[in-house]
Amino acid sequence: MSRILSQSPREHGLGHGWGLKAAGFSRCRWMCAAGFLCWLFPRSASAQQAFQSALSLDAVVAQQTSSQTETNPVVNLPALQPHWGPLGLNVGAYSSVTSDNNINLANSNTESDFILGTGLNLQALWQETGKSVVQLSSQVGYNFYLQHPDHDYLQITPGSALTWTLNLDDWYFTFFDQFNYTRNDIAVPSVSNISGIPIVQNNAGIRVQWEPGHWLFEGDYSYDNYFSTSSEYNYLNNAADYYFGRAGWRFASSTQAGFEASASFTHFTHPPQTDTTSYSAGPYVQWQVDPAINVSLHAGPTFYQFAASPNGGQPASSLTAYYINLDLVHKINQFWTEEVTVARSVNLGFNQGAIYDEELDLGYTLRWYPNPWLNFFASADYQTGQQPFQVLVFVPPYFIAASDVTEHYSRYGFSPGVYYQMTHHLNSSLVFSHWTRESNIVINRYADDMVTLQIQYQF
């Protein structure tokens, strides 16, 4: 699993443009619907941990800085918006039922189950001063397995965030805390033969932006804690320092280009995973080609250094590779929208004994809006990658030795679904998703199908 905030099991990547606007939470119901669809049919995400962590924060910061300007320094909450004193609130409750025919992502002896989910969507906004805004956004729920109750788990959806943004002329200071807790692993292409690993991740830090004229300068620092609540998977436990910098020129409000760089320093607390240092740097472009087409491209080299394991099992090593993040959104007309994504990445290893994996992900999503209350979509993904790792083998007659193995895998998935806003407060969605995984290691192949119905009430 790559250690990023937006890529956690079953929660990453499908929706685009469903952000929560600071002025009045005007698209909250669409954001909640899109977040649910992402939970069902996630996209793989790239690593370069500090780089991807910064990208995951971009959307949150953009919403706040766009509303905190000299001409509009105050967020005006609508009169009908729920309030608790000066705090603007948006609360929704949801219930869901999922049928999954392979909860263990296994090649044989598959197990199926029905999963009942329930929880809350929470958004809060506090206009502390004319130039200072505090926001909270999170989804908290619990999932119950009818036939395998030992798999039950609490979920705090990735993307949950508490931010405080302060605007001083052309400077923006954002203090943030992004957090999640989940245990499903369908979003991790390198994983198989497992029902879930409980993971807690918390990333807290500060972003400083300076926007003199057409220029944009940005610096981020954050401290990331990542650990499993199960001792069986404590080899994943680590803490990391993330650094990120960006300099660009804004040609227009939605078009800019420049250069960005990042560094990550990760310390693992248990073997066999080893301490890791990574660097990435390259140009970026955010281009509003015309009112209907938007392109975002980030690319460049990335360098990894892996320390030797304390027990001598893994020697010190390094890796030179490259990353690509391409996202193209095309609003064909008022009824149809399509999105194309390409991501090439290096990810920190998730399987025991694998220190990294390299992966290419291609995705396409088509959405149809016949009216403002109805949304049909179809999404498809193809992923291919490789992960070298060590396994222990018995060497007759007396001892066990480590053997180097490289798994080459590919995975494809597709998902049709529908979202319907039944009333102003009540919405529903029905989604089917399928994944097939191929591998040169036969036991790691699997197929998985899920169907989910969700009902949500927005207070």
Q: Write out the two tokens for 335.
A: 């009824």
Domain that holds residue 305: 28-458
Q: Is residue 19 in a domain?
A: no
Q: What is the pLDDT of residue 126?
A: 86
pLDDT in tens, 245-278: 999 999 998 899 999 999 999 999 988 788 999 9
For residue 373, give every residue at least 6 positions away whose Cβ sits within 8 Å of its Cβ, in sequence order, or none. Answer: 420, 421, 422
Provide, rounded to the nearest whole percent, the portion of the chain with pLDDT above 70.
Answer: 79
Q: What average pLDDT does the structure give for the chain?
A: 83
Quick check: 328 pLDDT over 50?
yes
Q: C-alpha distances in angstroms, 328 versus 29, 34, 195, 334, 344?
A: 24, 18, 33, 17, 15
Quick check: 67 pLDDT over 60?
no
Quick check: 76 pLDDT over 50?
no
Give me the CATH number covering residue 329: 2.40.160
In 101-170 the beta strands, taken as DSSP E runs, fall at 113-129, 132-145, 153-168
**Exposed / middle / buried, residue 434 (Cβ in 10 Å: 0-12, 13-18, 19+):** middle
pLDDT in tens, 153-206: 999 988 788 999 898 989 999 999 999 998 867 778 999 998 888 999 999 999
Quick check: 243 pLDDT over 70?
yes
Q: What is the pLDDT of residue 25?
A: 36
Q: Could you give phi then psi for residue 360, rounded to 5 degrees? A: -120, 130
Q: Is residue 5 in a domain?
A: no
pLDDT in tens, 360-396: 999 999 999 999 999 999 999 999 999 987 765 555 6
pLDDT in tens, 17-59: 222 233 333 334 444 444 444 444 444 334 478 888 887 888 6
- Counted domains in the chain: 1
* Residue carrying structure tokens 């994983």: 191
